[in-house]
Amino acid sequence: MHIQSVTFYRAAYKPEDFPKDQRPQFAMVGRSNVGKSTLLNAVVKRKAVARVSQTPGKTQAVQFYLVNERFYIVDLPGYGFAKVPREIARSWGDLVRAYLEESDALRLIFLLLDVRRLPSAEDLEMRDWVDAAGIEKAIVLTKSDKLSKNELIKQRKEIARSYQRDADDLIPFSIVTKSGIEQIRREITSRI
């Protein structure tokens, strides 16, 4: 995938803010500290399109990035560790659910999991929301460089079992080793 341009298009704080132009959309979602911004920046070959924060829960809206004027990469608010009031966290959940239910242009959602941990209740709930909305998903295991090769194989199998998927379907990603980036780009390119 040749990336010519990436521009921040819009932050949607309510469903009326979602783009209506029917360009294909590819969303990324995961726990607040899973590395969504790092992955997004790697996929679009930019250093700071999405801001990488040391504060979990920094993304408080659905963020749309227009790539090559052809499709959107969508950064969904993280869940789990966000240090925000409960009512704000609940409104994020409502916003994400509305996005999943209303986005006709959403082609694929990348569910991001920290490879060092088994899926949490929130991870499984997100999977259920995606399944209920009938959206195709790909599971990305972030921070894969933090494990040895044998630990990665074992953890990949465990996570795959909890998602009832084949371990080979899960995409290990590492910004350090650059693994998984091209596979994610191929997943996007094949659906444009």
Give one DSSP letter per residue of 53-99, joined into a string: -SSTT---SEEEEEETTTEEEEEPPPBSS--S-HHHHHHHHHHHHHH
- The stretch 133-160 carries a mean pLDDT of 95
Straight-line distance from the first to the last Cα atom of the chain, in angstroms, rounded to the nearest whole number = 11
Domain ranges of the chain: 6-189
Give phi and psi for 190, each to the nearest 5: -70, -10
Low-confidence winner among 13-22, 33-42, 55-64 (lowest mean pLDDT): 55-64
Residues 75 and 36 sit within 8 Å (Cβ to Cβ): yes
Fold of 6-189: Rossmann fold (3.40.50)
Q: Taking CA 162 as the corner, what is the angle to CA 160 and CA 168, rounded to the nearest 5 degrees? A: 5
Residue 35: which region, alpha, beta or left (left: phi > 0; alpha: psi -120 to 50)? left
* pLDDT, the chain, mean: 88
pLDDT tens profile 42-97? 999 887 666 554 444 445 789 999 999 999 999 998 887 555 556 655 667 788 88
Confidence band of 1 (pLDDT split at 50, 70, 90): confident
Between 179 and 93, the higher pLDDT residue = 179
pLDDT reported for residue 93 = 77
pLDDT at 90: 65
